[in-house]
Amino acid sequence: MNMLDQENPMIFTYHASPLGELLVVREGRDPATGRPGGLTGLYLPTGRHVSARRDEWQRDDTAFDDVRTQLDEYFAGTRRAFDLPLSATGTDFQRRAWTALVEIPYGETRSYAKQAVAIGSPTAFRAVGLANGQNPISIIVPCHRVVGANGALTGYGGGLDAKRWLLAHEANHSGLFA
């Protein structure tokens, strides 16, 4: 699906969460089936990567029931992994980095260096950090699970308070420390 297709524009909605109102964006509905396309963005209220093309999107609150359900389950502590179609746009390196993020188990963290090893580029930990910073689908593609080599919280597009909250939320519901 072409994101710039004027007959089938990107669609968006807002979703209330404990972190504030989330902006959720996905490809428009498939003309043949009427089903919405993959997610292209999930932005926290303090996010820094909301598309400049926002004025070309159309609001369609009816096309996000799957996303709403899974996000609500996540925030309730009953969902640990998401099962949603994703259509993030990025370079091959960025997509490899984002794929590795999804592999980090719920309630756990990894360093940028370990993520770089996981994608087969062990010296590219700075590039991994930059790729994570461009992740357009926060929470679902969990870049909040990546920390500095010493375990310190480092940059997060939604802000360090949101990262801290997400990590504490997952730790409280992971059963790892029960």
DSSP string, 107-166: T--EEHHHHHHHTT-TT-HHHHHHHHHT-SBTTTS-GGGEE-TTS-----TT-HHHHHHH
Q: How far apart are the first and last CA of the chain?
A: 45
What distance lies between CA 156 and its chain's CA centroid?
A: 12
Q: Which residues are designated catalytic?
A: 143
Query: Global pTM?
Result: 0.88
pLDDT over 80 (residue 5): no
pLDDT over 60 (residue 27): yes
Q: What is the pLDDT of residues 89-144, one digit of tens each?
A: 999 999 999 999 999 999 999 999 999 999 999 999 999 999 999 999 999 999 99
Which long-range contacts does 149-152 make (Cβ < 8 Å, 24+ apart)? Answer: 149/111, 149/112, 149/113, 151/109, 151/111
User: What are the tokens at 29?
Assistant: 């509905």
Q: Report the distance separating Cα 5 and Cα 76, nearest Å.
A: 36
